[in-house]
Structure 1
């Protein structure tokens, strides 16, 4: 199966700023976090609303607060990068998709995948606060069906850059309550690009 490969050698440029924006109880606090994702000179200053009390850095988001006894929920991990909005090769590699500049819309592009991989690759649009994006899930096709995992990737377009993220194991479809995708999409949809300098105070 086609695997999502993470970008390497990323530059971290700023610490996360966390601002509680709701506080009814410890579990209901939603944190507004600010960060700059800087990858090979491409800069994505963003805010993200985090109800899961995770750790956000310039390369990743991770939380293990979703675990509940009796379920198979595990650690939610998203690798993050900032790429050029014109990087068609990287977009196709991550999403099996392309962006049609003339029609201003995303299109599925599974050329190069095996027929069985095409059937287990699912694309869908995703909208954040001030950006339009595209996402994909890839289902594993080898090994014990009960142990096969589902990978996930997304990109949010905000020219001249795009914020992208991925997880090699967002779900195990044959395990009850093993799907972390709804939690990941809650985070993705809350993302807002900051136009202008990012202030930390």
Structure 2
């Protein structure tokens, strides 16, 4: 499986176009108005990207730990699927900025879009930590598990090599889902905290 930069650009552009078209087509069906949706989704992508790139600790053998997943899980759970997908775009942009690897970027984009959707759906179910945490765990498992399958089945890595290669990502995801979920549980208790973008139910 070889993905070049042009393919990545094409898929990313189509993703953004589809996302924007969906938001504007359904703008009257959402819980929040466009005056709130646009800043929330923009912040979701921008803050997640910034945390991914600047909240980074390099490891001696090349991989790195990142706080980008804190932003990803926070925005997914706090504001629902639309914010989760926007945050997924921030994760992918951060990955490309740091690695410039089109394949890794595209895989992360697709997996994190699915994970953001799952976590976002869960975030609308309740505001307590025990209610929010399962969605984070499933979302994190989608990203890490999907990347493991990609390395093992498509790149030919052995079970052990794929597992070892994913260790920094698993640590980053685990840190992100615990911190992000806890922050949402606290934020949801604030009196003027806006609800999820999508309507409940």
- TM-score between the two structures when normalised by the length of structure 2: 0.33
- Greater helix share, 1 or 2? 2
Q: Under a length normalisation based on structure 1, what TM-score does the superposition of the two structures give? A: 0.33
Higher strand share: 1
